[in-house]
Amino acid sequence: MAQPRISAYLPPDIDPTKAPLAFGRRALPKLNEELQSPELLTQQQALMALCDLVHDPEKVYQAIALGFFDNLKTLLVHHDQTVRQKTTEVLSIMALHSIGRQGLIQSGVISALTGLLDDPVDICRKNIHQIFDMMAKLPEGAGGVLRANLIPPLVLKLKTELDEIQELILDTLSNCLHVEVSEALAAGVVTVLKEKLSHPSTATRSKAAWVLLEISSHAEGKIAVCKEGVIPLLVSLLEDAQPEVQVNTTGALMFAAVTPQGNGTYQSERMLISAEAIPPLLKLVAEETSKARLNAIKTLTLLAELPEGRQTLLDHRDTFQRCLDDPSEAVQRAAQIAITVIEWKP
């Protein structure tokens, strides 16, 4: 069932926009003072004005220099939902700017935001997850999320959050798990992602496959993906109607099939062959318009390193031969490598 979109509108009985001066004329030092006011309406008005101003990166720079983050962190735990909503909105807008992201990292706001993971107001939670998503796009931001011990609660929230927020969590995890995967594995992330691969939302299926790709780029992640029985589900998604799902799925399978140097077990490759991955992968290779074509060729090349995979693919060399004329040089090179591996004789 489709879920309603999270609304950013304020409660109908709240109108903090009636500020005594137009937003653009209110000086930042004055707003900083108003954030500390004991008057609720004054705080609300200041936050509304600040939301307008921080779209300008120069204003963000000035706000950081004036110490706004200290006051904003205090307001994150305010009893009034409008104050919390507008505070998280201010921070999410600031996170859109490079200077804002740097300020968020240095000020310790990431840790302060963890207290809102269970906020009863949907838009507050959405705002904080937008911040985590923006922060995790930077290596130091992803490190900040990891240091704040956010990975286990984020994995847990994937089970219960609204679909919109789940998509943001998946984006955050994909960047963080590129750096470090152990905490997420201990929190059972692979089991949760396995369920998301069957989600009715295209975005959720696609993002879940992408997170599994990042997990499979780590040796311990490959082991978990194999043990949890994820590969057959990924193989079934190769025939998904949505191209973006196919791209991320073939990518996840490709990374899962890469055997660490010196490890001759080929467990994941054999699981792919047992799950009958070769026919749908060949179909993607044959489709000239397929966005997943390159990943499919690379995955099949890995499967051709096994005798049983090579034997099957020998009958399909013409599929790869046609790729040698592909407009993409990357596809041409991948096809040439695939042919070389398939035709190799011990």
Question: What residues does each domain of the chain span?
Answer: 17-137, 210-345
Q: Where are the alpha helices (DSSP H) in 181-266?
A: 182-186, 189-196, 202-216, 219-227, 230-237, 243-257
At residue 38, what are phi and psi to the nearest 5 degrees?
Answer: -75, -10
pLDDT band at 260 (very low <50, low <70, confident <90, very high): low
Specify the pLDDT at position 27.
86
Percentage of the chain beyond pLDDT 70 is 91
Fold of 17-137: Leucine-rich Repeat Variant (1.25.10)
Q: Look up the CATH architecture of domain 210-345.
A: Alpha Horseshoe (1.25)
- Looking at per-residue pLDDT, the higher value among 24 and 165 belongs to 165
Domains 17-137 and 210-345 fall in the same CATH topology: yes
Q: Chain-wide mean pLDDT for the chain?
A: 91
Q: Please tell me the distance from the alpha carbon of residue 185 to that of residue 11, in angstroms, as a whole number.
A: 40
Asked if residue 269 has pLDDT above 60, the reply is yes
Average pLDDT over every residue of 268-283: 93
Distances (CA, A) of 30 to 38, 64, 83: 15, 14, 18
Q: What is the pTM of this model?
A: 0.90
Q: Please tell me the distance from the alpha carbon of residue 156 to that of residue 188, in angstroms, as a whole number.
A: 9
CB 204 within 8 A of CB 167: yes
Specify the pLDDT at position 1.
44
Question: For helices 293-303 and 329-342, what crossing angle results, to 10°?
Answer: 20
At residue 341, what are phi and psi to the nearest 5 degrees?
Answer: -70, -40
Q: CA 164, 134, 92, 103: dihedral to nearest 10 degrees?
A: 160
Ranges 12-26, 47-61, 97-111, 200-214: which has the least confidence = 12-26
Q: Please tell me the distance from the alpha carbon of residue 344 to that of residue 14, in angstroms, as a whole number.
A: 72
| Per-residue pLDDT tens digits for 107-162 | 989 999 999 999 999 999 999 999 999 999 999 999 999 999 999 999 999 999 99
Q: Which of 163, 157, 133, 156 is nearest to 145 (CA)?
A: 133
Q: Which of 54, 52, 102, 46 is nearest to 74 (CA)?
A: 46
- Looking at per-residue pLDDT, the higher value among 249 and 290 belongs to 249
Q: Please tell me the distance from the alpha carbon of residue 78 to that of residue 216, in angstroms, as a whole number.
A: 41
Specify the pLDDT at position 50.
95
Asked if residue 319 has pLDDT above 80, the reply is yes
Placement of tokens 């950013």 in the chain: 8
Average pLDDT over every residue of 240-268: 83
Length of the chain: 346
Q: Please tell me the distance from the alpha carbon of residue 182 to that of residue 316, in angstroms, as a whole number.
A: 39
pLDDT band at 19 (very low <50, low <70, confident <90, very high): very low
Please return the burial class of 316, using the count of CB atoms within 10 Å of its CB with bins 0-12, 13-18 and 19+.
middle
CB 91 within 8 A of CB 74: no
DSSP per position, 108-142: THHHHHGGGTT-S-HHHHHHHHHHHHHHHTSHHHH
CB 134 within 8 A of CB 95: yes
Specify the pLDDT at position 15.
56
pLDDT band at 262 (very low <50, low <70, confident <90, very high): very low
pLDDT band at 286 (very low <50, low <70, confident <90, very high): very high
Asked if residue 278 has pLDDT above 80, the reply is yes
Question: For helices 202-216 and 243-257, what crossing angle results, to 10°?
Answer: 20
User: What would you report as the CA-atom Rg of the chain, rounded to the nearest whole angstrom?
Assistant: 25
- Looking at per-residue pLDDT, the higher value among 12 and 242 belongs to 242
Specify the pLDDT at position 233.
96
- Looking at per-residue pLDDT, the higher value among 231 and 264 belongs to 231
Asked if residue 265 has pLDDT above 80, the reply is no
